[in-house]
Structure 1
Amino acid sequence: MGPLEPDPAELVIGLLCFFLIFGLLGRIILPRLERTLADRRYAIEGGVERAEADQAEALRTLAAYRRELADAHHEAARIRQAAAEEGAALLAAAREEGHRERAELVAAARARLSVDRELARVSLRAAIGPLSTDLAGRIVGEPLDAFAARHGSVERFLEGR
């Protein structure tokens, strides 16, 4: 028996083992392998599709975020502009109020000065007459009160006549 003339018992056992292994592979192992490969293919293809869908959703969310951010920037700029305008208006109003108060204070001070000047003039005029006649009396050596009162010379002199 050689390689060209096999032993029939060995040939039958070998063929039997071959078909048994072939059947085992075809009925149990290969379907499981194909099912596992299909599940993996589905997971990969579904994962790619889900990743593409997630990426598209992320892009939409990013675009919405950018729009909201741009709107927020515009709103902030508008608020800053409104605040600047309101501040300028308040500053102008405060400046105008300050000018008005200053004008009132200056007018009141001028009026007080005018009244004080008149009071001082009247007071000095009343006090200068007796002082001048007393001083003139000391220089002359005689009291001149009666003379000044009779002739009104001090009042005439102060009035400029």
Structure 2
Amino acid sequence: MPTTIALLAAAGEDQNPLLPATYDITWSIVALVVVGLVFWKYVLPMFQKVLAERTEQIDGGIKRAEEAQAEAKAALEQYRAQLAEARTEAAQIREDARAQGQQIIDEMKAQAQEESDRIVASGHSQLVAQRQQIVTELRGELGRTAVDLAEKVIGESLADDVKRAGTVDRFLNELETIGANSAAGK
């Protein structure tokens, strides 16, 4: 073994220990070229294909997201427009309801006024009828009292209906003229 070491030591003096042997460099370059060709021929196209697909998916996803965002914005604008329209319609309905309510109140007031006027007219006609009835009763009673007084004053009987009616009518006419003259004199 000492001879092997000596031979190796002698051979080692010519060669740099930091540099590999020439056959190692040659075979390493051949292996590197084969691996490079395989990588360039098969791996690189697949990598570029996958990269292109992912880029396309990302771009498509961004486009779909932008479209979805545009659709959402359009739907939001449509919703806002419908909401504004609904508010306007609600305000119109409230205004119509107020107008109808005021109209109903006016109609009810008119009906109440008509009913009140009818009741007042009915009461007035009843009052006139009762006054007429009382005046008629008072005339008859006043006529009997006047006949009784006249019999006592004259001393003769006024039992005859025709005479009594003429005397009573004349007496009442005189009373009416006296009442009318005193009322006009005030």
Task: Quickly name the TM-score band, shorter chain normalised.
Answer: 0.5 to 0.7
1:75 is matched with which residue? 89
State the 1:82 CA deviation. 1.8
State the 1:128 CA deviation. 10
For structure 2, the residue ranges without an aligned partner over 5 or more in a row are: 1-14, 176-186
Q: Provide Cα deviations, 1:81-114, integer angstroms capped at 9, x if missing partner.
A: 1221122112111111110011101211232244
From 83, 89, 99, the equivalent of 1:85 is 99
From 99, 105, 117, the equivalent of 2:119 is 105
Which one scores higher on RCO, CA 8 angstroms, separation ≥ 6?
A: 2
Counterparts of 2:109 and 2:49, CA distance in 1: 86
For structure 1, the residue ranges without an aligned partner over 5 or more in a row are: 133-143
1:57 is matched with which residue? 71
SS in 2 for 1:4: coil
State the 1:47 CA deviation. 1.7
1:47 lines up with 2:61 in the alignment? yes
Larger Rg: 1 or 2?
A: 2
Counterparts of 1:14 and 1:128, CA distance in 2: 162
1:25 is matched with which residue? 39
Could you say if the C-alpha distance between residues 124 and 20 of structure 1 is closer, same or farther in structure 2, counting changes exceeding 3 Å?
farther
1:135 is matched with which residue? none
Counterparts of 2:20 and 2:98, CA distance in 1: 109
Percent identity over the alignment is: 26
1:4 is matched with which residue? 19
CA RMSD of aligned residues (A): 3.6
2:179 is matched with which residue? none
State the 1:12 CA deviation. 5.0
TM-score norm. by structure 2 comes to: 0.57
